[in-house]
Amino acid sequence: MNRDQQTSETLLTATDVVKTFDQPADQSGGKDGRLTVLDLPKFTIAYGEQVALIGQSGGGKTTLLHLFAGLLVPDSGTINIAGIELSRLSEQGRDRFRAANIGYVFQTFNLLPAFTAIENVKLGMSFGQGSVDAGRAAELLDRVGLSERANYRPSQLSVGQQQRVAIARSLAGQPKLLLADEPTANVDPTSAETVLDLIRTSCRDEGISLLLVTHDMNVAQRFDRVDELDTINRALSAHSKQAV
Amino acid sequence: MSLLTIAWRNFCHRPLSSLLTTLSLALGVGLVVLVLSIFGIVNEAFTRNATFGYNLVVGPKGSALQLTLNSVFYLSQPIENLPYSQYMEMFPQAERQAMVDRLGGDPELAERDGKYAAFVSGGYAIPLALGDYYGTFRVVGTTTDFFEKLRHGPELDQPFEFEDGEAFQAESEANGFFEAVLGSRVAAEMEVGVGDVLYPTHGDPEGKGHEEAFMITGVLAPTGTPNDRAAFVNLEGFYLMEGHAKPIDESEKFEPANDQNVSSDDEGKLRPLTIPEREVTSVLIRTGNMMFAPGMQNMINESLEAQAAAPVGEIYKLMDAIVGPVMQALLGITLITCVVAAVGILVAIYNSMNDRRRDIAVMRALGARRETVTAIIVFESFLVAIIGGVLGWILAHAAIVLYSGKIEDQTGISVNFFTVTSYEIYILPVVLALALLAALLPAWSAYRTDVGSNLSA
């Protein structure tokens, strides 16, 4: 499948996805003591598409990413990625699916401190079906400009460098969908530019769909498609109405 | 990256904690290996050397164990002595006649077969006379049969070999009855060899020195047995040392029949003691048929004069009654040490879990299954167990090698770095099982780690 074909087809379709959490006893307003964090009637991402999802802190952005990554299961609704219905998979199935199809970039990088930069990248391919490709790990590190720091530990890298290693790691498993959770929030503006460019360019080059959540409008406006979580998440609308 | 590599990286990431945990386990395992090794060495020292082909030791009434210890291992003090006539009970009439004729004794002794001669026929009876020392080593008065008939080695098929020289003669032209053979360790420690002389001391290592000198005619090759630590002298020479002849009344004195043939050339030479003047500490017996041994033992033990002990049986009794329980108690204590060390693993890994929940959540986000992160924790525990176990084994065996000389001195057992007891093969599985138990709680904690909350934290 080439890139043109990919962009015309839907990679991710989320339909009527609702996610609730236990509500602390001293807070009220939820149904049956539970707080509805996400109520998403419809959300799609096409193959190769790059989407920025903007929203305020606590608006359910990370929950949405965890649902798409199969780390959480919706209370109701369906999430279909690459033809796979996530809610029908067992936890092990979702783990396998995630290892094979999802890349994840965290706001706080989350490099494992015990491992060097190159080992962190290799970790990105250690839990899938395929074997660890040392050549690809080195190539990815080279792509993010850190081949000379391959054997540095995270503590020996700057914040921006750590995020670049995290990007390389997220691409290591050749995912179909890259989920980026506020990837520029913890880096300085210059590094943020670099990080953003790296993510977008790498996804474009490898035909990976990108869903980047941010609260920063400057970051979001770089994308052709920008969705506002306040608009698409009915749970937030309901909270707003309750507040009024 | 393999899970083992990931576990190893985690192990190395907390060097101090990992080192201390591993070291505590190593010390625990080391203690267990030491106790097992000591038990193995003691067990082997006693059982392997409990016989050199003989199946009974006959001596005076008293403790059968003490008889075995002093006659076989040259440990402990001799009980008392047996009259030589008791030794003669092992021989048929013809040989008793020859003894009476050669040495001089009550003619009645020559009139019958020895009481136990039928049992011994086809085997041997080797007399031992103990009580003197050469340096700190026991002097053993015996006959040339000792070197010719006894065997050593795991299969009891190796004859005594001489590193230098040869066995003493029953009576030599040059030295008469005063010749000696040294065990290998005696020669090495006393720095003497063939052609040198030794002067035994009476009663204990610090005792009065005898004036009689024994010419060393041979040095035994090392055998790894108590015989390496003994100085063997001609029994006749032993008897002829000052104070070794049993005091007798005038009525007990007998002239040897052969004395009538003494030539003028022989007149200045010392003559062997007469039978009434002779005593033996014990007699090593190999019955003509192994099946005869219990019958002979019973018969001797029912007599008033002597006792017979089966050395292997005595040693097993000693092991069962004293050494075994002591070793089991020590082993129990050291195993508790290992359990404490395993608890240390648990605490170390469990404490690290708080710092690692995010790492676990990240691995889960990268596609690791719950079972995978659980396995990583278990592997970490196994790494501590394997490294600690191997280190402990090495430390224990290094200590054994360090004290190998002393061990050989005390037991006659030669040990090296790779001398292992059969029990040691169980150590690694036991340690791994302990490590698995120790890993269960942290592994369960890893299994239950909530990805969402820890990634968001």
Other CB atoms closer than 10 Å to residue A72's CB: what's the count?
A: 22
DSSP-derived 3-state class of residue B2? coil
pLDDT of residue B179: 96
Residue A1 — pLDDT band, cuts 50, 70, 90? very low
Last residue of a domain, one of B310, B339, B361: B310
Question: Which A residues in the span 179-238 are in contact with B, Cβ-Cβ below 8 Å?
Answer: none
Q: Give backbone dihedrals phi and psi of B393, rounded to 5 degrees, phi first.
A: -60, -45
Pair (B129, B231) in one structural domain: yes
Residue A9 C-beta-side C-alpha neighbours within 13 Å: 14
Tens digits of residue pLDDT in A60-90: 888 899 999 998 899 999 999 999 999 889 9
Residue A43 has pLDDT above 90, yes or no: yes
Pair (B194, B63) in one structural domain: yes
Pair (B377, B233) in one structural domain: no
Residue A236 has pLDDT above 50, yes or no: yes
Residue A2 — pLDDT band, cuts 50, 70, 90? very low
Tell me which chain B residues have a C-beta less than 8 angstroms from the C-beta of A122: 1
Last residue of a domain, one of B260, B278, B310: B310
Pair (B280, B133) in one structural domain: yes
The shortest C-alpha distance from A142 to chain B (Å) reads 19
Question: Which B residues in the span 332-361 are in contact with A, Cβ-Cβ below 8 Å?
Answer: 358-359
- Return mean pLDDT, chain B: 87
What percentage of chain B exceeds 90 in pLDDT? 43
Pair (B385, B407) in one structural domain: yes
Tens digits of residue pLDDT in B266-315: 556 678 999 999 999 999 999 998 888 999 999 999 999 899 999 888 88
Class of the A3-243 domain?
Answer: alpha beta
Pair (B222, B361) in one structural domain: no
Q: How many residues does chain B have?
A: 457
Q: What is the ipTM of this complex?
A: 0.83
The pTM (predicted TM-score) of the whole model is 0.70
pLDDT of residue B457: 56
- Return mean pLDDT, chain A: 85
Residue B261 has pLDDT above 60, yes or no: no
Q: Give backbone dihedrals phi and psi of B51, rounded to 5 degrees, phi first.
A: -155, 150
Tell me which chain A residues have a C-beta less than 8 angstroms from the C-beta of B369: 91-92, 95-96, 127
Identify any residues that bridge with B57 across adjacent strands, giving them in sequence order.
B284, B309
Residue A151 has pLDDT above 80, yes or no: yes
Q: Do A173 and B366 touch (CB under 8 A)?
A: yes
Range of weakest confidence among A14-18, B364-368, B416-420: B416-420
Question: In whole angstroms, what is the distance from residue A91 CA to residue B59 CA?
Answer: 80
> Which amino acid type is present at position B359?
D
Domain residues of chain A, as ranges? Answer: 3-243
Q: Which two tokens stand for residue B349?
A: 């890994």
Pair (B272, B350) in one structural domain: no
pLDDT of residue A25: 61
Tens digits of residue pLDDT in B23-37: 988 998 898 888 888
Most confident of A24-33, A187-196, B209-218: B209-218
Pair (B448, B370) in one structural domain: yes
Q: Give backbone dihedrals phi and psi of B24, rounded to 5 degrees, phi first.
A: -65, -40
Average pLDDT over residues B148-166: 88
Tens digits of residue pLDDT in B168-180: 999 998 999 999 9
> For tokens 């709680």, what's the residue?
B441
Question: In whole angstroms, what is the distance from residue B115 CA to residue B300 CA?
Answer: 9
Last residue of a domain, one of B310, B327, B359: B310
B13 touches chain A (CB under 8 A): yes
Pair (B40, B128) in one structural domain: no
Question: In whole angstroms, what is the distance from residue B75 CA to residue B59 CA?
Answer: 15
Q: Which residue has the higher pLDDT, B164 or B202?
A: B164
Residue A3 has pLDDT above 50, yes or no: no
Sign for the pseudo-dihedral over CA of A191, A193, A196, A201: negative
Q: Do A123 and B363 touch (CB under 8 A)?
A: yes
Pair (B138, B169) in one structural domain: yes
Burial readout A98-123 (b: 16 or more C-beta within 10 A, e: otherwise) = bbbbbbbbbbbbbbbbbbbbbbbbbb
Range of weakest confidence among A40-44, A75-79, A84-88, B256-260: B256-260
Tens digits of residue pLDDT in A165-207: 999 999 888 899 999 998 888 888 888 888 899 899 999 998 9
Q: Which residue has the higher pLDDT, A146 or B422?
A: A146
How many domains, in total, are found in chain B?
Answer: 2
Question: Judging by beta carbons within 10 Å of its beta carbon (0-12, 13-18, 19+), is residue B191 exposed, middle or buried?
Answer: exposed
**Residues spanned by the domain of B360:** 3-46+318-456
Q: Do A100 and B362 touch (CB under 8 A)?
A: no
Tell me which chain B residues have a C-beta less than 8 angstroms from the C-beta of A63: 452
Question: Judging by beta carbons within 10 Å of its beta carbon (0-12, 13-18, 19+), is residue B390 exposed, middle or buried?
Answer: middle
Range of weakest confidence among A40-54, B44-58, B150-164, B373-387: B44-58
Q: Do B370 and A91 touch (CB under 8 A)?
A: yes
Pair (B135, B231) in one structural domain: yes
Using CA coordinates, name the residue in chain B closest to A64. Answer: B452
Residue B370 has pLDDT above 80, yes or no: yes
Residue B415 — pLDDT band, cuts 50, 70, 90? confident
Residue B199 has pLDDT above 90, yes or no: yes
pLDDT of residue B196: 95
Average pLDDT over residues B131-155: 91
Q: Do A96 and B452 touch (CB under 8 A)?
A: no
Q: Which two tokens stand for residue B452?
A: 């969402």
DSSP-derived 3-state class of residue A90? coil
B401 touches chain A (CB under 8 A): no
Question: In whole angstroms, what is the distance from residue B356 CA to residue B146 CA?
Answer: 71
